[in-house]
Amino acid sequence: MVENAAALTGKVGYFWGGKSVCLGWDDRWGVPALVTADGSDTTGTLVPFGLDCSGLVTWASVNAAGDADALSAIGNGARDQYSRCTPVAWEDAQPGDLAFFPDLSHVGIVVGTTEAGTLEIVHCSKTLGGVVRSPDGATIGFALIGRPEFYQIYGEA
């Protein structure tokens, strides 16, 4: 899952409500599309299609499993994805665990622990312009770690 998400770093922009269960590259990415999901200042406007934070997790999981039906195991939306995780202590986080903001408004995937001892997280951020790797997830607001039930079904995909 980590490798799939990290492969999109700098290549896929942020799109409010952006989801994909396409295996491999989604040809819609980068093509102007109407934002239809409510709740964003971009709602009702045309912007290049991409992913939102939970959409990155969904796409990476589906591609790790090689099966679009993996969506039912990983969930759709940060809150749903959190509900499908077992909480893990920050210091016990492993690559592939999910990281969340305390209010469950944002989700990313743990890449690993840096030499400085911080958790590196790959996530899709509106503020940072799309899929990025943040070397210190705590400084940008990640505070909760969950181990997805997805792995019980699909293994360390």
46 pairs with which residues across the strands?
Answer: 34
pLDDT at site 157: 59
Residue type at 45 in one-letter notation: T
Tens-digit pLDDT profile for residues 41-63? 999 999 999 999 999 999 999 99
Tens-digit pLDDT profile for residues 2-19? 999 999 999 999 999 999
Is the pTM above the cut of 0.85?
yes
- Read off the CATH number of the domain in which 39 is found: 3.90.1720.10
What residues have CB less than 8 Å from 77, skipping those under 6 apart? 54
Tens-digit pLDDT profile for residues 109-123? 999 999 999 999 999
pLDDT at site 77: 97
Please count the structural domains in the chain: 1
Residue type at 123 in one-letter notation: H
Q: Among residues 14, 45, 112, which one has the least CA distance to residue 122?
A: 112
Print the domain residue range for 62: 2-154
pLDDT at site 156: 76
Tens-digit pLDDT profile for residues 131-150? 999 999 999 999 999 999 99
> Using CA atoms, how far apart are residues 49 and 19, in angstroms rounded to an integer?
9
How many percent of the chain have pLDDT more than 70? Answer: 99
